């Protein structure tokens, strides 16, 4: 990973970072664009997209390599795990201790120098499981 100081901190990047730090929802590029546009009305989606890519390449932010269809971004760059709702697709941080021996095990079992790992849990979030229950009740009534 490159040093975050290698890219220039422009107003656009600073604004993107500040907006990303405000949320824990792991927004998509489109969602970041909507947030940033409120402060920089003339910014384009392409610019936001390019900056997000550059910023994640430099290690300033995290690009989530998760099973969803859209890339998501995270201002929390230290290693942590995520859980994704299979129903609505939202991604939350999951605050469990890092499994560090997994990297060593993987290195032992492969010819690789292991640099890290990604774990994505999947499940059904609380609002989605509640609306599931409501659906079931309707079926029972009918």
CB of 65 vs Zn ion, minimal distance in Å: 12
Q: Binding to Zn ion by residue 87, rule CB under 5 A?
A: yes
Contact segment (CB under 5 A) with Zn ion among 6-14, 27-35, 80-88, 134-142 equals 80-88
Q: Binding to Zn ion by residue 25, rule CB under 5 A?
A: no
Cα–Cα distances (Å) from 130 to 87, 93, 121, 142, in that order, read 12, 20, 20, 19
Residue 73's CB: how many other CB atoms inside 10 A?
21
Q: Binding to Zn ion by residue 53, rule CB under 5 A?
A: no
Residue written as token pair 């409120």: 38
- Name the pairing type of β-strands 72-74 and 62-64: antiparallel
Applying CB under 5 A, which of residues 34, 93, 103, 120 lies at the interface with Zn ion? Answer: 93
**Nearer Cβ to Zn ion, position 37 or 68?**
68
d(CA 19, CA 33): 10
CB of 84 vs Zn ion, minimal distance in Å: 9
Please give the residues from 97 up to 136 whose contact with Zn ion meets the rule CB under 5 A: 125, 128
Q: List 121's β-bridge partners, or say none.
A: 83
Positions in the binding site for Zn ion (CB under 5 A): 74, 76, 85, 87-88, 93, 125, 128
């Amino acid at each position: 990973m490159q040093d975050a100081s290698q890219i220039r901190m422009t107003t656009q990047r600073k604004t993107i970072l500040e907006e990303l730090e405000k949320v824990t929802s792991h927004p998509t590029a489109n969602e970041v664009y909507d947030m940033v546009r409120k402060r920089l009305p003339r910014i384009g989606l392409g610019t936001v997209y390019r900056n997000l890519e550059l910023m994640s390449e430099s290690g300033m932010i995290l690009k989530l390599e998760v099973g969803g269809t859209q890339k998501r971004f995270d201002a929390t760059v230290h290693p942590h795990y995520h859980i994704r709702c299979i129903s609505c697709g939202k991604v939350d941080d999951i605050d469990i201790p890092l499994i560090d021996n997994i990297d060593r095990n993987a290195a032992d079992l492969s010819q690789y120098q292991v640099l890290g790992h990604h774990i994505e849990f999947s499940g059904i979030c609380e609002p989605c499981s509640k609306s599931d229950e409501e659906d079931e009740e309707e079926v029972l009534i009918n």
